[in-house]
Amino acid sequence: MLSTILYLLWALITVRADQKLQPDEVNTVTPPEETFPWSQPRLPTSIKPEHYFLSVHPDVGSDSFTGQVRILITVVNDTSFIILNSKDLVIQEATLLGLSVPSLIYQEARPVQSQMLHRANVAQEKLVKQPMALRVLESEATEQLALLMDTPLVAGHKYQLSLSYSGKFSDSNSGIYKASYRTPADAAPRTIVATHFEPSAARKAFPCFDEPSMKAVFSLVVVRRSEHISLSNMPKLHTEAIEDGLEQDYYQTSVRMSSYLVAFVICDYAVNSAETKRGVKVSVFAANHLINQTHYALQSAVEIMDIYEQLFQIAYPLPKLDLVAVPDVEAVGTESWGLVTFREASLLYQEQRESRRSRLRVSLLTAHELAHQWFGNLVTMHCWRDVWLKEGFASYLEHIAVRHLKPDWCVVS
């Protein structure tokens, strides 16, 4: 009964991934090249993203990263420009490729020999024409790119938008950032790379339609050095060695989700794993000398997942869930789907040395971020002005979960 009431209320004030966007209220006309053609902070809805093929190479030894993204888009209304989000990125190239028919169905990306990504299955239909170079304008005030073309895009048709770009690691824990830690046996600091895209920082990692309602599926490739591992939202498909001691990890295509939920981590961590009753693999990653402090968080996460699945009567839709302890971060926790990052002190717990209050802290925070795997990730607010909805639900549900987890603690909502 509780789950039914919660989801009925949530459905009244949110949108699901498959909800159709409304047409723009403004006419899309070909603008002069020197004028940015869009004046609103929200993106137009003339373009709908369907599938991102993203390859990113964060250079751990420097302060920069490079990337390529191909976005399969559907044109909702005729338009002569594409508006999407970008912040602090340098666009090297932008092209557009038309597809032969609007009914083309794409399948999961497969590994290719080049560092870039995608091979779509076009058994009956084929890509046509040559890629069209796009003129690029940028609005720093609205964190948007305008991609201009000479030939208008036709409603109902599909296109492939390709962009090559570079950027700098974030100075804050927003976008792609670096963190460091030391081990007792090694005086030199070790560096990891992590992401935090909420509320609107995916645009600092790759050009995208960075609004919660513009959901799509994502196929990710992460390039890293061979001594590291990478993690992302979905399980890894396979690894391919490339030049200069680098390897690239190919990940399964994600469920349909908002851009702010995309996540990856590059690290040299150890792992502690278990399974839920339904067989979902739950793993906690931490520095090797801290891995013995992850047992309580792992046990709590597994039990909380079982509690939520029983409470909501909706199965967690991903095959795995990773929790990662990140040093020196501002946010105590993030909710990225399938890959949740935590401040080290918010996830680790030392048996026999810390109090029940410390266990309560770990339990509540874990329950909060896992509640978002349903409230926020599966069902999402339409835009960022309604972020209080998902946070309010998660704050309420964390206490319900911990009451089930530890009834003798007498936790109240």
What percentage of the chain has pLDDT greater than the value 90? 71
Contacts 24+ apart (CB under 8 A), 355-362: 356/409, 359/296, 360/402, 360/409, 360/411, 362/296, 362/297, 362/300
More confident residue, 26 or 383: 383
- What stretches of 154-234 adopt beta strand conformation (E)? 158-168, 175-183, 186-196, 217-225, 229-232
288 part of a folded domain: yes
165 part of a folded domain: yes
Do 284 and 312 belong to one domain? yes
The lowest-confidence range among 40-44, 234-238, 385-389 is: 385-389
Q: Computed over its alpha carbons, how large is the radius of gyration of the chain?
A: 22
More confident residue, 370 or 18: 370
Q: In whole angstroms, what is the distance from residue 275 CA to residue 402 CA?
A: 19
Q: Which residue in 227, 369, 391, 398 is the catalytic one? A: 369
**CA distances from residue 149 to 51, 97, 161, 164, 226 in whole angstroms, order as listed:** 21, 11, 12, 17, 41
User: What would the mean pLDDT of 7-17 be, rounded to a whole number?
Assistant: 45
> Mean pLDDT in the chain?
86
Which of these, 372, 389, 394, lies nearest to 14 by C-alpha position?
389
Q: How confident is the model at residue 251 (pLDDT cuts 50, 70, 90)?
A: very high
Do 97 and 241 belong to one domain? yes
Do 146 and 106 belong to one domain? yes
Q: In whole angstroms, what is the distance from residue 204 CA to residue 167 CA?
A: 8
Do 147 and 181 belong to one domain? yes
10 part of a folded domain: no
Q: HEC string of 66-121? A: EEEEEEEEEECCCEEEEEEECCCEEEEEEEEEEECCCCCCCCCCCCCCCCCCCCCC
Do 297 and 261 belong to one domain? no
Which of these, 68, 18, 13, lies nearest to 48 by C-alpha position?
18
Of 242, 267, 292, at which residue does a domain stop?
Answer: 267
What pLDDT score was predicted for residue 355? 76
Give the CA count within 13 Å in the CB-facing half-sphere of 155: 8
Which of these, 78, 237, 238, 254, lies nearest to 159 by C-alpha position?
78
Q: At what angle do helices 356-371 and 387-405 cross, to 10 degrees?
A: 130
Which of these, 258, 72, 94, 262, lies nearest to 163 by C-alpha position?
94
Of 267, 286, 309, at which residue does a domain stop?
Answer: 267
Do 341 and 255 belong to one domain? no
**CA distances from residue 337 to 74, 316, 377 in whole angstroms, order as listed:** 25, 10, 7
8 part of a folded domain: no
153 part of a folded domain: yes
Q: Is pLDDT above 90 for 103?
A: no
Do 292 and 234 belong to one domain? no
Q: Is pLDDT above 70 for 242?
A: yes
11 part of a folded domain: no
Q: How confident is the model at residue 395 (pLDDT cuts 50, 70, 90)?
A: very high
3-state secondary structure of 253: coil
Q: Is pLDDT above 50 for 51?
A: yes
Q: Is pLDDT above 90 for 22?
A: no
Q: How confident is the model at residue 91 (pLDDT cuts 50, 70, 90)?
A: very high
Contact 214, 48 (CB under 8 A): yes
Contact 52, 232 (CB under 8 A): no
Of 244, 267, 290, at which residue does a domain stop?
Answer: 267
* Letter string b/e over residues 29-60, b meaning 16 or more CB atoms within 10 A of that residue's CB: eeeeeeebbbeeeebbbbbbbebbbbbbbbbb
Q: In whole angstroms, what is the distance from residue 387 CA to residue 211 CA?
A: 12
Q: How confident is the model at residue 130 (pLDDT cuts 50, 70, 90)?
A: confident
Strand partners, 343: 326
Strands 270-275 vs 281-286: parallel, antiparallel or unpaired: antiparallel
CATH of the domain at 341: 1.10.390.10
Do 302 and 234 belong to one domain? no
Q: At what angle do helices 387-405 and 2-13 cross, to 10 degrees?
A: 170
User: What would the mean pLDDT of 164-172 be, rounded to a whole number?
Assistant: 94
**Cα–chain center distance at 145:** 20
Do 170 and 209 belong to one domain? yes
Q: Write out pLDDT tens, residues 172-199.
A: 889 999 999 999 888 889 999 999 999 9
2 part of a folded domain: no
Query: Which 8-state DSSP code applies to residue 180?
Result: E
CATH of the domain at 245: 2.60.40.1730
Query: What is the pTM for the complete model shown?
Result: 0.85
5 part of a folded domain: no
Host domain of residue 304: 269-413
**Cα–chain center distance at 382:** 17
Do 104 and 120 belong to one domain? yes
Contact 370, 308 (CB under 8 A): yes
Query: Is 93 annotated as catalytic?
Result: no
What pLDDT score was predicted for residue 188? 86
Q: In whole angstroms, what is the distance from residue 215 CA to residue 261 CA?
A: 10
Do 139 and 42 belong to one domain? yes
Do 289 and 373 belong to one domain? yes
Q: Is pLDDT above 60 for 3?
A: no
Q: What share of the chain is helix, strand, coil (3-state, %, to 5)?
A: 20, 35, 40
Q: In whole angstroms, what is the distance from residue 100 CA to residue 156 CA?
A: 12
- Give the chain's domain count: 2
